[in-house]
Amino acid sequence: MSLLNGITYGLLLFMLSSGLTLIFSMMGILNFAHASFYMLGAYFAYQISTWVGFWPGLLVAPLIVGAVGAAVERYGLRRAHRFGHVAELLFTFGLAFVVEEVVQLIWGKVAVDYRIPAELDGTLFTLFSTDFPIYKGFMMLISVGMLVALYALLTRTRIGLIIQAALTKPDMVEALGHNVPRIFMLVFGGGTALAGLAGVIGGNAFITEPGMAAAVGSIVFVVVVVGGLGSLGGAFVASLLIGCIQTFSVALSISVTDVFALIGVSLPQGSQVARLTITQLAPVLPYLLMVGILIFRPRGLMGARES
Amino acid sequence: MTAPAIRISGLRKNFGASEIIRGVDLDIHRGERHAVIGPNGAGKSTLFHLISARLPVSAGAIELKGENVVGLKPFEINRKGLSRSFQITNIFHNLSVFENLRCAVLWSLGYRYSFWQRLAGLKDARQRAEAVMEDIGLAKRRDTPAGILSYAEQRALEIGITIASGADVILLDEPTAGMSRSETDDAVALIRRVTEGKTLVMVEHDMGVVFGLADRISVLVYGQIIATDAPAAIRCNAAVQEAYLGTSPHLGNEHD
Amino acid sequence: MNSAIFPRGRLLLWGGCLAAAIALPLLFKSGFVVSLLCQMGIMVVFALSYNMLLGQTGLLSFGHAVYYGLGAFVTMHALNIVGKDGGPLTTALLPLVGGLAGMLAGVLLGYVTTKKAGTTFAMISLGIGELVAASALMFPGFFGGEGGVSGNRVVGKENLLGLTWGPQVEMYGLIVAWAFLATVAMFALTQTPLGRMANAVRDNPERAEFVGYDTQRVRFLMVILSGLFAGIAGGLSALNYEIITAETLNAHTSGVVLLMTFVGGIGFFYGPIIGAILITVMQIVIGGLTHAWLLYFGLFFLFMVLMAPGGIASVIAVQRNLWLAGLLGRMLPHYLAVALPVLVLLAGLVGLVELSYALLAGEGVGAGDTATRVMTMEFHLNTPGPWLAALGTTALGLLLTRWIGSRAGVAWNAALATLHGDKA
């Protein structure tokens, strides 16, 4: 059951990390504001759902987010690009800052009541006396559907081929395609729209509040580092891995002492570390994983490129 | 007898399925000026990258003055007395000409990662940097940021950084690429002057430069050395002529 | 960095800054100004330590608060130990404890982060920052949980000078002393072999390797040393506020120091000093006027990234060059001409933001109320009047800015061309 939850969460993470990876591979930009677009997706969907319901929002909100993303690329990043990568990164950083403030300005500092639509509220099936909600199933359906569409786009279309080429031979495409700003705008818009969609289906499953971007953003970066920068496959594996780790660890109440006892090490009783349970450790586990990966496999799980 | 400056044996390098260096054996004698020539794509730059550890070696051995250097990092090889220049100018763009050269001499003078000594007080570093600056003719550009120098000046600085540390084995990758005739002549004179008494290996397309400077020439074709000999012998070598005539009709000025 | 040194001019400048720092609280005796100055002093050290990474080594860190925060916590615990058991340390020396803690953190964390440079370093620094911030909540014994850790900086008797560090002015003196020492030390570092090689690694890591330097080692050492100074800043903040919470460690603090440093200018040693002072003042002054100040701050930052990526210091440097070339006089009328429409534009934008904020966030007179006060003026939000006025002002400002701005731009380019023409 935790596994299914973990996969659901992992797929959501992949919707974010895939967009981030695509943008990074194509444009060399690490979009610091990526999770902000996730947040915008959730808020737009919330706003639309209060007017006309959930379903139109599912379609419209990601499109608006994508349009905002494309505009950001066109009027902001393209200018920052002239000053180099640090300026680009700082621009997206500042953007994340501004988006958070604007969201607070419009929707307030507390979480908004963005709910799962009534027709998806309920239990899909029950396994080992735990309910699996319909909405989780719906999330899986949307994310898998999105991934299939993305895969088809990447392998079956011209733009997809160019993007794919960028993943494996960035220098080559840079030489050939660096003067294709429209593709950049498209990739950025597409990547952010994907993040927006993740926000639409994730916002009501988790929480829609101004802090959600910061909370998810750093996890997405961990995913990308663990998976290997610029690797879609790596991002996929790492998303699922971290999704599962986070979901599992929340459910485990054994303490660090127990874990060490399993491998035959007994910790001195009474120290704070020894008394921590895995659940308490849950928020830091992804980061610990990242540190471990960096020490033992600096390229990431499937990363081919050093940066 | 002392070991050769560089001894390469059975060197191979492949990128995925394509093998760029296909078994190179080469001895570079101490104190000689050695040119590596060959058609575009023959693997000359790759060979340099392997020697200087910019790229990892797939198979084979490289010895620097009798010591194995395969698997070392670029800075470790540099500390053993091998210094190189780059085909695409590789300098510290935001630092002045003088600072570029001073950075290049710091390690060899033993200042390492010192953060307790004032740079301004390091007389030997200043003098050596100034001497090199004089040598490469950039003394009047002392405080100009390297990024806004002219192309020829940047190339001269590139050579200056390469020789400043006092390394005794120098690798120059197309030192005259993109230069006009007169700039090339200046560059040749400069190279001759600053590599006096050192081992020089260079990749060069300009045959005037090659035959004017080199004591020996190696011809690299499709990742293999087909001949190594004195310039006169290379000129008459049938295999070389065939390789060159087969791929490029003139032994003229060209670059990748 | 110019290699020529003018010790006398430099001494005068440093001495002047020190004298100003000492004189300011004598001129403005209000407690508000003194605590503002204290905060500035701390932020100056913090921002300078950050620029050791960003400006000097080219390392964009999103987790610099870790060193600052750990320095602060360790100092606070040291303070409490000294307060309880006495011991060899006095309050005045405690920031050094914070510095050592920051340095130690630099050794441990820097080992992991400096395995990479560039974008990856940025991401990893963020992850490590989150790791430490999240861990802080797991160890309430050390980090004090939600409430943080507090202490009392007045320990023991008066010292030799008769100071207890209790009054804010005495604390300010301590901050100035430490900030001055740290600034001198950090400047000196830029003039050492390591400092210069950090610049080289920033400009071209590959070339740095080929002149014999291990770039990873250079970055690592710079992170450690930067941790030292960040820790000193953290230690000062612990003594100054006498309370430290886990928020000190988090991404927000890291973000603020990045913004300060960048806005001030990363290409100049004094840039972060300007940034720290300016942003601290903005934070307090504008923060006191409007709740939307973080938004203004963010927009200001975006504006700087797009328009003046060299920060305020580089703007000053260009003006100085123009002045030296005798061209500044030509530009001044244009600056004044542009200032007017820009002010109009700003007024319009601020009006819009404040009106929205008042309406949507329920600020002002009360939630649900439709009248609000913006800077002593009362507006009725449900009438179109204020909105139209704000919109109109914005549009007018925009038009005028574009019109006058383009003319000023022509003059600007001409002046720059003359300037660079003179140089070449």
Residue A76 has pLDDT above 60, yes or no: yes
Distance in angstroms (rounded) separating the CA atoms of residues A208 and A172: 41
- In chain A, which residue's Cα lies nearest the Cα of C297? A98
Q: Are A197 and A145 in contact (CB under 8 A)?
A: no
Token pair for residue C206? 């590959």
Residue A127: enclosing H or E segment and its boundaries?
strand A123-127
Give, in order, the Cα–Cα distances in Å from A286 to each of C108, C125, C354.
Answer: 19, 14, 40
Q: Using the beta-carbon criterion (under 8 Å), do C204 and B91 form an inter-chain contact?
A: yes
**Residue partners of C419: CB distance under 8 A and separation at least 6:** C321, C322, C325, C327
Q: Using the beta-carbon criterion (under 8 Å), do A105 and C301 form an inter-chain contact?
A: no
Task: Measure CB to CB from residue C135 to each of A105, A214, A284 and give the nearest one.
Answer: A284
Q: Are C193 and B117 in contact (CB under 8 A)?
A: yes
Band the pLDDT of C341: cuts 50, 70, 90. confident
Q: What is the pTM of this model?
A: 0.89
Q: Is the dihedral of CA C157, C163, C169, C175 positive or negative?
A: negative
Residue C138 has pLDDT above 80, yes or no: yes
Check residues A29 and C72 and name the one with the higher pLDDT: C72
CA distance C124 to chain B (A): 24
Using a CB-CB cut-off of 8 Å, the residues of chain C touching A95 are 302
Q: No. of H helices and E strands in chain C?
A: 16, 4
- Mean pLDDT score, A51-60: 86
CA distance A28 to chain C (A): 9
Express each pLDDT in B206-239 by its tens digit: 888 999 899 999 999 989 999 999 998 998 888 8
Token pair for residue C275? 């940034």
Q: How many CA atoms lie within 13 A of B129 on its CB side?
A: 24
User: What pLDDT, on a 0 to 100 scale, did the predictor assign at position B248?
Assistant: 47
User: What pLDDT, on a 0 to 100 scale, did the predictor assign at position A115?
Assistant: 80
User: What pLDDT, on a 0 to 100 scale, did the predictor assign at position B252?
Assistant: 45
Check residues A183 and C100 and name the one with the higher pLDDT: C100
Check residues C386 and C279 and name the one with the higher pLDDT: C279
CA distance A133 to chain C (A): 30
Task: Measure CB to CB from residue C196 to each of B99, B108, B161 and give the nearest one.
Answer: B99
Using a CB-CB cut-off of 8 Å, the residues of chain B touching C189 are 115
Q: Using the beta-carbon criterion (under 8 Å), do C295 and A101 form an inter-chain contact?
A: yes
User: What pLDDT, on a 0 to 100 scale, did the predictor assign at position A307?
Assistant: 40
Of the given ranges (A203-217, B164-178, C367-381), which has the lowest mean pLDDT?
C367-381
Is residue A294, in this structure, part of any structural domain at all? no
Using a CB-CB cut-off of 8 Å, the residues of chain B touching C195 are 115, 119
User: What pLDDT, on a 0 to 100 scale, did the predictor assign at position A304?
Assistant: 54
User: What pLDDT, on a 0 to 100 scale, did the predictor assign at position B256?
Assistant: 41
Check residues C172 and C414 and name the one with the higher pLDDT: C172
- Mean pLDDT score, B94-100: 95
Band the pLDDT of C217: cuts 50, 70, 90. very high
Q: Using the beta-carbon criterion (under 8 Å), do C305 and A80 form an inter-chain contact?
A: yes
What subunits make at least 3 CB pairs under 8 angstroms with A?
Answer: C
Torsion angle defined by CA atoms of residues C392, C394, C395 and C399, in that order, rounded to the nearest 10 degrees = 140
Instruction: Count interface pairs B-C at CB distance under 8 A.
Output: 110
Let me know if B252 is exposed, middle or buried by CB neighbors in 10 A (0-12, 13-18, 19+).
Answer: exposed
C295 at the A interface (CB within 8 A)? yes
At A127, the amino acid letter reads L
Is residue A231, in this structure, part of any structural domain at all? no
Residue C27 has pLDDT above 90, yes or no: no
Is residue A217, in this structure, part of any structural domain at all? no
What is the set of domains in chain B, with CATH numbers? 1-80+212-256 (3.40.50.300)
**C positions 307-336 inside 8 Å of A (CB):** 309
Rg (CA), chain A: 20
User: What pLDDT, on a 0 to 100 scale, did the predictor assign at position C9?
Assistant: 79
Check residues A104 and B126 and name the one with the higher pLDDT: B126
User: What pLDDT, on a 0 to 100 scale, did the predictor assign at position C366?
Assistant: 41
**Residue partners of A110: CB distance under 8 A and separation at least 6:** A209
Distance in angstroms (rounded) separating the CA atoms of residues C97 and C89: 9
Question: Phi then psi for A210, rounded to 5 degrees?
Answer: -60, -20
Q: What is the 3-state secondary structure (H, E, C) of chain B?
A: CCCCCEEEEEEEEEECCEEEEEEEEEEECCCCEEEEECCCCCCHHHHHHHHCCCCCCCEEEEEECCEECCCCCHHHHHHCCEEECCCCCCCCCCCEHHHHHHHHHHCCCCCCCCCCCCHHHCHHHHHHHHHHHHHCCCHHHCCCEHHHCCHHHHHHHHHHHHHHCCCCEEEEECCCCCCCHHHHHHHHHHHHHHCCCCEEEEECCCHHHHHHHCCEEEEEECCEEEEEECHHHHHHCHHHHHHHHHHCCCCCCCCC
Distance in angstroms (rounded) separating the CA atoms of residues C205 and C419: 32
User: What pLDDT, on a 0 to 100 scale, did the predictor assign at position C309?
Assistant: 87
User: What pLDDT, on a 0 to 100 scale, did the predictor assign at position C369?
Assistant: 43
Domain, as residue range, for A186: 2-210
Closest residue by Cα to residue C225 from C244, C204, C197, C247? C197
Residue A186 has pLDDT above 50, yes or no: yes
Check residues B243 and C5 and name the one with the higher pLDDT: B243
The top-scoring range by mean pLDDT among A24-33, B87-96, C155-164, C221-230 is C221-230
Distance in angstroms (rounded) separating the CA atoms of residues B141 and B160: 13
User: What pLDDT, on a 0 to 100 scale, did the predictor assign at position C156?
Assistant: 66
Q: Using the beta-carbon criterion (under 8 Å), do C301 and A79 form an inter-chain contact?
A: no
Q: Using the beta-carbon criterion (under 8 Å), do B113 and C197 form an inter-chain contact?
A: yes
- Name which of B96, B97, B111, B113 to mutate to probe chain C: the one with the most chain C Cβ atoms within 10 A of its Cβ: B113
Band the pLDDT of C364: cuts 50, 70, 90. very low
Let me know if B119 is exposed, middle or buried by CB neighbors in 10 A (0-12, 13-18, 19+).
Answer: buried
Q: Express as a percent the part of chain A with pLDDT over 90.
A: 14
Q: Express as a percent the part of chain B with pLDDT over 90.
A: 69
Q: In what order do the strands lie in the sheet with B18-28?
A: B18-28, B6-15, B59-64, B67-68
The total number of structural domains that make up chain A: 1
Closest residue by Cα to residue C98 from C122, C74, C132, C118? C74
Q: How many CA atoms lie within 13 A of C128 on its CB side?
A: 28
Band the pLDDT of A271: cuts 50, 70, 90. low
**B positions 85-144 inside 8 Å of C (CB):** 86, 90-96, 98-99, 102-104, 106-108, 111-120, 122, 142-143
Let me know if C158 is exposed, middle or buried by CB neighbors in 10 A (0-12, 13-18, 19+).
Answer: exposed
Residue C303 has pLDDT above 60, yes or no: yes
- In chain C, which residue's Cα lies nearest the Cα of B75? C212
Let me know if A188 is exposed, middle or buried by CB neighbors in 10 A (0-12, 13-18, 19+).
Answer: buried
Q: Express as a percent the part of chain C with pLDDT over 90.
A: 42
A298 at the C interface (CB within 8 A)? yes
| Backbone φ/ψ region at B68: left (φ over 0), alpha (ψ -120 to 50), beta | beta
Express each pLDDT in C366-420 by its tens digit: 434 445 555 455 566 666 777 788 888 888 888 888 888 888 888 888 887 777 7
Residue A176: enclosing H or E segment and its boundaries?
helix A170-177
Q: Is the dihedral of CA B213, B219, B220, B221 positive or negative?
A: positive
DSSP A19-57: HHHHHHHHH----TTHHHHHHHHHHHHHHHHHHH-HHHH
User: What pLDDT, on a 0 to 100 scale, did the predictor assign at position B98?
Assistant: 96
User: What pLDDT, on a 0 to 100 scale, did the predictor assign at position A59?
Assistant: 87
Distance in angstroms (rounded) separating the CA atoms of residues A124 and A141: 13
Express each pLDDT in A102-159 by its tens digit: 888 888 778 888 888 777 777 767 766 667 778 888 888 888 888 888 888 888 887 7
Is residue A185, in this structure, part of any structural domain at all? yes
Is residue A115, in this structure, part of any structural domain at all? yes
Express each pLDDT in A8-50 by its tens digit: 888 889 989 988 988 887 777 888 899 999 999 999 999 898 8
Check residues C45 and A277 and name the one with the higher pLDDT: C45
Using a CB-CB cut-off of 8 Å, the residues of chain C touching A281 are 138
CA distance B85 to chain C (A): 9
Of the given ranges (A221-235, C148-162, C227-241), which has the lowest mean pLDDT?
C148-162
Is residue A233, in this structure, part of any structural domain at all? no
- Mean pLDDT score, B86-109: 93
Q: Are C230 and C46 in contact (CB under 8 A)?
A: yes
**Residue partners of C206: CB distance under 8 A and separation at least 6:** B54, B74, B90
**Residue partners of B76: CB distance under 8 A and separation at least 6:** B53, B69
**C positions 339-378 inside 8 Å of A (CB):** 353, 356-357, 360-362
CA distance B203 to chain C (A): 18
Is residue A301, in this structure, part of any structural domain at all? no
Of the given ranges (A261-275, B46-60, C276-290, C314-328), which has the lowest mean pLDDT?
A261-275
Task: Measure CB to CB from residue C212 to each of B86, B96, B108 and give the nearest one.
Answer: B108
Residue B18 has pLDDT above 50, yes or no: yes
Q: Using the beta-carbon criterion (under 8 Å), do A295 and C112 form an inter-chain contact?
A: yes
User: What pLDDT, on a 0 to 100 scale, did the predictor assign at position A85?
Assistant: 80
Q: Using the beta-carbon criterion (under 8 Å), do C199 and B95 form an inter-chain contact?
A: yes
Residue C203 has pLDDT above 60, yes or no: yes
User: What pLDDT, on a 0 to 100 scale, did the predictor assign at position C122?
Assistant: 87
Using a CB-CB cut-off of 8 Å, the residues of chain B touching C265 are none
User: What pLDDT, on a 0 to 100 scale, did the predictor assign at position A176?
Assistant: 63
Distance in angstroms (rounded) separating the CA atoms of residues A298 and B74: 19
**C positions 200-219 inside 8 Å of B (CB):** 200, 202-204, 206-215, 217-218
A80 at the C interface (CB within 8 A)? yes
Token pair for residue A306? 């050093």
Distance in angstroms (rounded) separating the CA atoms of residues C363 and C356: 10
Across A97-131, b (16+ Cβ under 10 Å) vs e yields bbbbbbbbbebeeeebebebeeebeeeeeeeeeee
- In chain B, which residue's Cα lies nearest the Cα of C204? B92
Is residue A33, in this structure, part of any structural domain at all? yes
Q: ∠A73-A77-A81 over CA atoms, to 5°?
A: 135
